[in-house]
Amino acid sequence: MKTMRRPCLLLMMALINTVICLGQASPVGTAQTAKIEAAYDSSKDRTTIGLAPIQISGEKDKYHSLHMAPSFSFPGHQPQRPSTIDFELQTVVKARLLDSDLYVLFVVDGETIHLSSNRWAILRPVPGRRWVGERLVFRMPYETLVKITRSKTFEIKFDGVKFEVGESQMRALRELSSKMD
């Protein structure tokens, strides 16, 4: 019984920590350290390793904030290089986007990369505001993540609004990538 409590407790702590991190906004210019979390699902015999949400940008244009939380998974406990990464972006938009179809591009050293995504709306992600949040999960090939981690510049464009990914965020991506080998 004790052996089952530990994975459940670790998973609950990771989820609570993620919720707390989502509610906090750190200034964009400050250094952020990578917080890599691991969770094992015994019913699926699958381990997931991911970067806790890290802020890419604060307020810019119609956006209140942009965070990234990439992750990958593998069977069992022994790490394996994934073929794809779930590259999650979390946005908070200060206005409704009813008239806009959000189009996202990744720009790596000037090269534009388009990936399909799954999306979920988050109603009222900021208490007391009528803002809308969105979670976008891109199925990113492993080779694309490697290209990003080796790049000099990495930007994410949302309907023409560019978000430059800073050096501390790039270090976090490189640290996560190092867990894939």
Stretch 18-38: mean pLDDT: 54
Please provide the DSSP assignment of 92-134 as one string.
EESS--TT----EEEEETTEEE---EEEEEEE-SSTTS--EEE
Q: Note the pLDDT tens digit of each residue in 69-110.
A: 999 999 999 989 999 999 999 999 886 654 455 689 999 999
pLDDT category of residue 24 using cuts at 50, 70 and 90: very low
Query: Which residue, 75, 72, 73, 56, is CA-closest to 64?
Result: 56
Residue 124 has pLDDT above 80, yes or no: no
Distance between CA 115 and CA 12 in Å, rounded?
31
Tell me what the pLDDT averaged over the chain comes to. Answer: 82
Sequence letter at residue 44: K
Stretch 15-32: mean pLDDT: 40
Q: Note the pLDDT tens digit of each residue in 169-179.
A: 999 999 999 98
Mean pLDDT is highest, among 12-16, 36-40, 91-95, 118-122, for 36-40
In angstroms, how far is the first alpha carbon of the chain from the final one? 33
Question: What is the set of domains in the chain, with CATH numbers?
Answer: 2-178 (2.60.40)
